Structure 1
């Protein structure tokens, strides 16, 4: 498998929203004027005979070859060759990114990116699917994003943005963005069916076709597993469809629908003494209460794509999502303590962008400019429970978040040696919080008004044939967490993030591919209690994250045989904190290194296989760095036989072996209740399956 490097990718749009009657007065005229400026262009003449391609909601004009940032790309064929059941596993093929699997059924996992360790389950990275943001502004955790709603077989590409580099993305993009893009158009029928250890069954199917001016894409998935540990069964079903219609040679409209249903049992976490006992590692902890949950998710999106002329395209969209999520969870090992968390979340979004390709002087310039409005409502309830039986309600709350965003970005190719990039994004936030907790006095609050301007600058240069250099500086931001955004006594600004990056790509030899990037990502104005224990919060904290991320690929003289090394080294330091004892300490959860070495033999037909070794280094578990996890080494292997037939048909039998050395390890470890706590990974196990193209 080869992961392509693309310095900048053309993403579909993201962000969401709900009810436009809550647009605050200052935002309404801005939104109306911005859309008004864009819509008159729809009457411009188009070039004769021009036919639109797929709808890309924003950023379509930005040429990946001209970007100055690090964006790693995994393409569709490489995705399908991995026969994934969980799409988030793709990030393990990207330098500097690591998955922390909680193994709690349908609970979203966490991952590390650019030195941030709370992405996916928290607020450290943006995640979008075909322009629909999956990050939740409230509910389970600020920024929480569940990728279980995706079908791996439907994916066409994953773009991984490193750091707050793109003007197309705002909130939650401090560490980067995972941009999942599904297949659009095309003629294909595919299926992937597998059986594995722990009574695991996964069936996926995807199809695309065209009928005159109509193009369709559909995908489904059914998954069920008893799981390795006690009380860990997980069942889910996904379905997705897209229908596009050519209104004319220069206008296209598309409707996309998606549905997900999941139900699970969760084994919870175990203390260190139980993790070290082979006979008890697969069991629940003492006093466990059979955690679990369920989720329903639905999404609808409509896109209008209008080619104004050969140099400009208008993109207009609207989408909505509806989400019900219930989780029963217990933390700690004393009797009692389980809670039920319920979130009902509704989002509605609308936006438009212009994508252009013009000349400034004699040099070509690609650009995008757009506006987005997002509204999110979250109905939040919690109960104390005992073995999933409610005993008392403790919380009943309603949150709304409204976001208005304006953005623009341009790449200018003055010459191969001089390709500057500039971007600017403005985000404005408002909302409300209604508290009706049982036993308390009801109250309502407006969100403190927050807005932020995020500049991005970069330069890419081809200094010689096969040698390209890049450098950039980019700004991002972070809002206060949870209810703090609505606290009228909290007088703070958004947290500031500045990333500085240099990188190089070497392709001078057809036998080698090398890409490396060094970054420094500084955070300032962190919102911390100052003095400690006072209850007063101020913008006082500072942290530095830095790292070297590199990818080496050697295409051996043996046809189809490739050796690859993906490695990263990280350092972090708390530079300012009201608690002087924490100054100089490392960021919790950040490994000192992440390395994957793999050997792939992937012929077009016949036998093939892959052998990989992955190492995740030591990382701190406590703020004072007194507790740490030593990391782990993992060896996986796969073997396949591929038969090819006429008209592109193929049949691929495969066998995947995991944890060949039977390592005792966990991908998620934390400290609490006086012990290290583990979500143990399974011992050696296998999956067998068949993938068909017909």
Structure 2
């Protein structure tokens, strides 16, 4: 399951060591697959369908907790996206630090926010979590890493999953399709409902997708994909400390909630020029509407006082790209590379209205009304060459160009143009293999960047002069395979950022004057025993500090970055026979994190145990009944803590049971 190529991926690699490169190239349908082997020079995590399925995820983003050193923050606000912490960065799906894709379509919005609730885990074929800016295939948002979800393009059998559990949670999920000589069809449909653990927490979502591949000739495939997603929810808000201690099930306000709809489509053309060369072309687009009501406790306010706001986002995006992919040899040595280009246009309308204490979700005065149009153009290349039998070198680089305009309709309709940005990011890595593939040493160097993040996005257009943040990663590690049943992994990294943005309160402009360093270690052990037994351990440590950072007159140099836990540990033992009883026990521990830059306030550490008992039966073992217990020991802790003297909390689930029946046919 976890550290890339350190366990299940290692086994797969050994199985296919003699597989012809040209045959592998025939399976390439998205650009990342050509250079997937280059991930061996990094500590990336690669998860396959069998690692993901037959698990209970609070939200789909929980998948990333199967990677070492990664923590998920469940805000428990219905369809509002969860967030995750990785490589010492706390805003990876609520910020501009991690690029997130579903079948090559970016989920990140203008400020980096990425809603992974559109993911249906049951239809996933593979998930890649690349840490740091180490891949040349990804640019904007990818400085802390890249999270890429890939769905099934072909199915051998249909699957129906039915689940019912705590807090009146129920889900029906179907993934199926059929194939013949000329076509591969895949369909999926998911419907989900929960009443939620807290009051005012009902959430309904529906997700449907289709992917049809037409094998026009022996060398040309045409694929059309489409998805529709709808989500509607109420949200409890964040509890104050007294309310959190008195009654964790209560809601702050019945006003909180939201709705979202998203429709997307993508066309792919895959043309195999020669047995060793393939061209991929794609064009795609999506349209989405997102509304969120966000309100504080109105009980002590007059009816005409401001209690929160309504936020609406209307977003239309189109993109296109193409790449040339080669897998062959040069001078008798293996050579693989990709060279390609991408273009994306974003049209974003953002509005906000005040909410008043006495009028619920009714709109008050408008205070935001602006439109952003952004153009992004990219060129990239990445390749690897087997210089010597034990030594493979990976080199890559990308160029990104950004330009855009913002029109503020509350400022007389004035248009502000962003300073055009042209950024080059080099990458490189090596992997040395010894002892008949039982020992691998690897290392990489990569540069990345970050544009103005979060709520400073208007400053990117209004401010005449600014530079992107510069982010540089150094990483090295070792993978050891003492036997086919045991894999060990160890890596260390340093991720430096320079030109961090700090707001100058006097000029009211952001200045590129900050710098930070994140040093970390990740360790994994993956052991298979007695045919169907499995033990997995991972540990992640990060020391994230301000090197040079003065904010509001306070020198934070040497302080720890807030919202980043130093230690994360996972242990899992499971037994998964092809028939009969099976089970799984998983333990997670996570440090508390600082709640302020001065390091004077800290959240609580927490731990959780999850368990599963399953039974596989039927003539072809095609039925699986499972009982999952989340938070087996019924620990009370907060999934999210914010604030210092006046804290706010999002309580985690108590002990919760879920019964699942899965049928393959």
TM range (shorter): over 0.9
User: What residue is the counterpart of 1:42 in the other structure?
Assistant: none
Q: How far 1:53 moved relative to its partner?
A: 4.7
Matches within 5 A, 1:414-563: 414-437=387-410, 440-465=411-436, 466-481=438-453, 482-489=457-464, 491-530=465-504, 533-556=506-529, 558-563=530-535
Matching residue within 239, 251, 256 for 1:291: 256
Change over 3 Å in CA distance of 1:507–1:418 after alignment to 2: same
For the residues of structure 2 that align with 1:54 and 1:410, how far apart are their CA atoms?
Answer: 18
Change over 3 Å in CA distance of 1:684–1:282 after alignment to 2: same
Matching residue within 320, 325, 345 for 1:375: 345
Could you say what secondary structure the match of 1:585 adopts? coil
2:147 maps to 1:178: yes
Change over 3 Å in CA distance of 1:567–1:51 after alignment to 2: closer
More displaced 10-residue stretch of structure 1: 521-530 or 260-269: 521-530
Query: Structure 2: where are the runs of 5+ without partners?
Result: 10-21
Could you say what secondary structure the match of 1:448 adopts? coil
Contact 2:498/2:514, CA 8 A, preserved across alignment = yes
Contact 2:200/2:254, CA 8 A, preserved across alignment = no
For the residues of structure 1 that align with 2:664 and 2:107, how far apart are their CA atoms?
Answer: 30
Matches within 5 A, 1:186-225: 186-225=155-194
User: What residue is the counterpart of 2:658 in the other structure?
Assistant: 687
Q: How far 1:350 moved relative to its partner?
A: 0.8
How many residue pairs align between the two structures? 640
User: What residue is the counterpart of 1:100 in the other structure?
Assistant: 73
For the residues of structure 2 that align with 1:51 and 1:549, how far apart are their CA atoms?
Answer: 30
2:632 maps to 1:660: yes
Matching residue within 92, 95, 101 for 1:128: 101
Contact 1:6/1:64, CA 8 A, preserved across alignment = no
Could you say what secondary structure the match of 1:67 adopts? helix
Contact 2:463/2:509, CA 8 A, preserved across alignment = no
For the residues of structure 2 that align with 1:303 and 1:64, how far apart are their CA atoms?
Answer: 22
For the residues of structure 1 that align with 2:6 and 2:426, how far apart are their CA atoms?
Answer: 18
Could you say what secondary structure the match of 1:281 adopts? coil
The Cα RMSD (Å) is 2.1
- Summarize deviations over 1:269-293 as a string: whole Å, max 9, x none: 011222222xx111023xx242001
Q: How far 1:86 moved relative to its partner?
A: 2.8
For the residues of structure 2 that align with 1:147 and 1:292, how far apart are their CA atoms?
Answer: 17
Matching residue within 571, 576, 580 for 1:602: 576
User: What residue is the counterpart of 2:16 in the other structure?
Assistant: none
Contact 1:8/1:66, CA 8 A, preserved across alignment = no
- Summarize deviations over 1:615-652 as a string: whole Å, max 9, x none: 01121011111111122011111100011534xx6100
For the residues of structure 2 that align with 1:505 and 1:547, how far apart are their CA atoms?
Answer: 17
**Structure 1-normalised TM-score?**
0.89
For the residues of structure 2 that align with 1:484 and 1:396, how far apart are their CA atoms?
Answer: 15
Contact 2:236/2:254, CA 8 A, preserved across alignment = no
Could you say what secondary structure the match of 1:102 adopts? coil
- Summarize deviations over 1:160-215 as a string: whole Å, max 9, x none: 10111100000001111111000012321001110001111011000031122011
For the residues of structure 1 that align with 2:522 and 2:133, how far apart are their CA atoms?
Answer: 16
User: What residue is the counterpart of 1:157 in the other structure?
Assistant: 126
User: What residue is the counterpart of 1:26 in the other structure?
Assistant: none
- Summarize deviations over 1:335-392 as a string: whole Å, max 9, x none: 3422110010000001110001233333111000001100000011111124111122
Q: How far 1:50 moved relative to its partner?
A: 8.5
- Summarize deviations over 1:252-302 as a string: whole Å, max 9, x none: 10000000001000000011222222xx111023xx242001000011000
- Summarize deviations over 1:52-102 as a string: whole Å, max 9, x none: 855522133325167311211111112112154632111111101110000
Q: How far 1:684 moved relative to its partner?
A: 0.9
Could you say what secondary structure the match of 2:167 adopts? coil
Contact 2:132/2:144, CA 8 A, preserved across alignment = yes
Contact 2:3/2:43, CA 8 A, preserved across alignment = no
Could you say what secondary structure the match of 1:323 adopts? strand
For the residues of structure 2 that align with 1:616 and 1:206, how far apart are their CA atoms?
Answer: 34
Contact 2:471/2:496, CA 8 A, preserved across alignment = yes
Q: How far 1:577 moved relative to its partner?
A: 1.4
Could you say what secondary structure the match of 2:80 adopts? coil
Could you say what secondary structure the match of 1:394 adopts? strand
User: What residue is the counterpart of 1:281 in the other structure?
Assistant: 248
Could you say what secondary structure the match of 1:542 adopts? strand
2:596 maps to 1:626: no
For the residues of structure 1 that align with 2:420 and 2:523, how far apart are their CA atoms?
Answer: 40
For the residues of structure 1 that align with 2:308 and 2:368, how far apart are their CA atoms?
Answer: 14
Change over 3 Å in CA distance of 1:691–1:329 after alignment to 2: same
Contact 1:209/1:216, CA 8 A, preserved across alignment = yes
Could you say what secondary structure the match of 2:534 adopts? strand
Contact 1:289/1:388, CA 8 A, preserved across alignment = no
Contact 1:95/1:551, CA 8 A, preserved across alignment = yes
User: What residue is the counterpart of 2:307 in the other structure?
Assistant: 337
2:592 maps to 1:592: no
User: What residue is the counterpart of 1:24 in the other structure?
Assistant: none
For the residues of structure 1 that align with 2:648 and 2:192, how far apart are their CA atoms?
Answer: 28
Contact 2:3/2:67, CA 8 A, preserved across alignment = no
Change over 3 Å in CA distance of 1:307–1:693 after alignment to 2: same
Could you say what secondary structure the match of 1:589 adopts? coil
Could you say what secondary structure the match of 2:64 adopts? helix
User: What residue is the counterpart of 1:614 in the other structure?
Assistant: 588
More displaced 10-residue stretch of structure 1: 392-401 or 493-502: 392-401
More displaced 10-residue stretch of structure 1: 86-95 or 320-329: 86-95
Q: How far 1:116 moved relative to its partner?
A: 0.6
For the residues of structure 2 that align with 1:341 and 1:55, how far apart are their CA atoms?
Answer: 40
For the residues of structure 1 that align with 2:179 and 2:485, how far apart are their CA atoms?
Answer: 39
For the residues of structure 1 that align with 2:416 and 2:499, how far apart are their CA atoms?
Answer: 24
For the residues of structure 1 that align with 2:337 and 2:345, how far apart are their CA atoms?
Answer: 27
Contact 1:7/1:69, CA 8 A, preserved across alignment = no
**Structure 2-normalised TM-score?**
0.93
For the residues of structure 2 that align with 1:339 and 1:101, how far apart are their CA atoms?
Answer: 22
Matches within 5 A, 1:340-351: 340-351=310-321
Query: Structure 1: where are the runs of 5+ without partners?
Result: 11-48
User: What residue is the counterpart of 1:265 in the other structure?
Assistant: 234
